[in-house]
A and B are shown apart, each in its own frame.
Chain A
Amino acid sequence: MVDRVRATDETINLIQKLEKKHGPLLFHQSGGCCDGSSPMCFPKDEFRVGKSDIYLGDIGGAPFYIAKDQYEYWKHTQLIIDVVKGRGGMFSVEGPEGVRFLLRSRVFTEEEREELQLSAT
């Protein structure tokens, strides 16, 4: 089945490096101002995932979540998590490394959309 979220090789390497420092990780896709639209990465037991979230898949062994209402607006696209040089990211664990996870996206093909809809029902 087509992945709703995937990661570049560089991202997977970074996740492995960060896991050595911080233990098991999870991602939560942010929205809104400033660092909005950035994927945030936290120690797994630090961020409380709730009923309002949806699980999209694992990247580098870390589960990736997004708020359900945000997913409704984003679901026609595949989320591709990349790494760029940068600063910030609030409490996301990669900030001090001088890099940021960055979201890239790809619009699903018709076939992929059908496949995802089928699997959703």
Chain B
Amino acid sequence: MHYAKPGTANAIVDFDSHYDNFIGGEWVAPADGEYFDNVSPVDGQVFTKIARSKEADVSRALDAGHEAKAAWAATSVADRSRILNKIADRMEENLETLAVAETWDNGKPVREALAADIPNAIDHFRYFASVIRAQEGGVSQIDEDTVAYHFHEPLGVTGQIIPWNFPLLMMSWKVAPALAAGNCTVLKPAEQTPASINIWLELVHDLLPPGVLNVVQGFGLEAGKPLAQSDKVDKVAFTGETTTGRMIMQYASENIIPVTLELGGKSPNIFFADVMDKDDGFLDKAIEGFVMFALNNGEVCTCPSRALIDESIYDEFMDRALKKVKEIKGGDPLDTNTMIGAQASEEQLEKIISYFDIAEQEGAEVVTGGNRKKYEGEQAEGYYVEPTIFKGNNKMRVFQEEIFGPVVSVTTFKDNDEALEIANDTLYGLGAGVWSRNINTAYRFGRAIQAGRVWTNCFHEYPAHAAFGGYKKSGIGRENHLMMLDHYQQTKNLLVSYSEEPQGLF
């Protein structure tokens, strides 16, 4: 199936000519009236204009959040939960519309948006609608007369800055728990992908009380920075890279507020010799696990971008893997058969190409790919790259940096010790993959790898009920799972004495 390009006949979604900010339940033009052009990476053409907000707009959004926060915090968890479930229902009813909007904004294949991004985003709203109702405070009996009560309270108004690789999914990862926990929020979408969230807001904006969710669009420097820096923000959540992560911590230190940071990784995907013991479904699954480097055009913080393969199976394994990689169908992202679409931006394309250059200089072997991909027709001006496999060693820069493209760097290991040494020889520790038919090997490696998520005999699954976050320079805090509510809540302790006798000190 092929979806019509937005704005053409039979299109399932059309974008307006411009979009304002969403503040206090209304669409609000930016204070100084400036907008910026938004380009689709699919065809490189401008398709809408987006509010170019500044500090005054951010401040207005934060004020709207503060006006709404007392009533939202006092809204029963049953009611907050009901609203989140309604948001999920609206999204489900409009799944295809959201998927096509997401593809046009980001360039990802609609096949993935339909099967992964949007269903997963929906489930995040449902998950946090559920767990907030099941969350309990605590009662601790200190002694016969003294009781400590622990209550969860919202933080207030949170600032959330999200990336461009999964615009709607990252929105749901951040917004659903913040709202479930009773916070109001100001969200700053990435300026590379600011459009699809407007389609989402049009679908759900009437469900939330005004001011609970505010979306301020614009450039990082002009809108993101004043949000991170504001003394009206009670917590900042950020997904991005390390230098900006430091900057956000620096600003947070000025206000003494908490931050959560997800800063990426360079995930090892380790294939032990026993995956080749049989030619069966498990082997097919492992091969697919290798090819997962191309999911979302490789623009994933946990892209399995380093493949570590036991040297005894390398040739045979790579034969199979290469066949699968060659079957990846590239092209029009709006075609449901397309498996790899456009990189999200021109700059991203340039960056990937700069890594092809350094890989060549460092002597990495190009197993396949290694070039920009040009198409005829509609996609001629889009940002496309060939799925690429390099072979080399872990000291090469393509093994150490998140390229954020459909690029995997492959190396071999002699034994388990070497596999572990290579896996952990990185600045980051977000994701990892372990593939083995031996449960003891898989378990021990999973525990020994310094990463927050070790996919074991699977990869790239993101259920709401599993904690996600980084070790080392990959960040601070967790997303998904009930435990992330801790990052959006204060603990209130009432320490109550039921004794009617003085303590006897004075």
Contacts and interface: CB of A to CB of B under 8 A. Distances in A.
Are A and B associated in one complex?
Answer: yes
Contacts of A29: 243
A87 B345 CA distance: 8
B354 interface: yes
A28 interface: yes
A89 B348 CA distance: 11
A106 B243 contact: no
Contacts of A102: 347, 350-351, 354
Interface string B236-249: 00011111111100
B294 interface: no
B402 interface: yes
A34 B347 contact: no
A89 B218 CA distance: 12
Interface string B427-448: 1100000000000000000000
A103 B403 CA distance: 12
Contact of A33 (B219, B263, B400): B263
Interface string B199-234: 000000000000000000001111011001000000
A25 interface: no
Interface residues of A, number: 41
Interface stretch (B76-84, B147-155, B356-364, B480-488): B356-364
A70 interface: yes
B426 to A, nearest CB: 8
A106 B361 CA distance: 7
Contact of A28 (B228, B243, B350, B357): B243
B476 interface: no
A91 B224 contact: yes
Given A31-B241, A88-B191, A92-B220, A37 B347 contact: no
* Interface size of B as a range: 35 or more
Given A37-B401, A77-B358, A86 B243 contact: no
Contacts of B473: 31-32, 69
Contact of B250 (A48, A69, A95): A48
A85 B362 CA distance: 26
A16 interface: no
Of A73, A92, A104, A106, the most chain B CB neighbours within 10 A belong to: A73
Interface in A100-121: 100, 102-107
Contact of B427 (A31, A77, A85): A31
Interface string A20-61: 000000001111111111101010001110000000000000
Contacts of B428: 31-32
Contacts of B224: 90-91
Nearest to B249: A48
B214 to A, nearest CB: 20
Contacts of A90: 220-221, 224, 240-241, 244, 247
A42 B44 CA distance: 29
Interface of A: 28-38, 40, 42, 46-48, 67, 69-70, 73-74, 77, 84-93, 95-96, 100, 102-107
7 contacts: A30-B244, A31-B402, A33-B262, A40-B243, A73-B427, A84-B346, A88-B345
Given A31-B402, A33-B262, A73-B427, 18 more contacts: A30-B241, A31-B401, A32-B265, A34-B163, A34-B241, A36-B241, A37-B402, A73-B395, A74-B397, A77-B358, A87-B345, A87-B346, A87-B347, A88-B164, A88-B192, A91-B224, A92-B221, A96-B219
Interface of B: 163-165, 190-192, 219-222, 224-225, 228, 239-247, 250, 262-265, 301, 345-347, 350-351, 354, 357-358, 361-362, 395, 397, 400-404, 427-428, 473-474
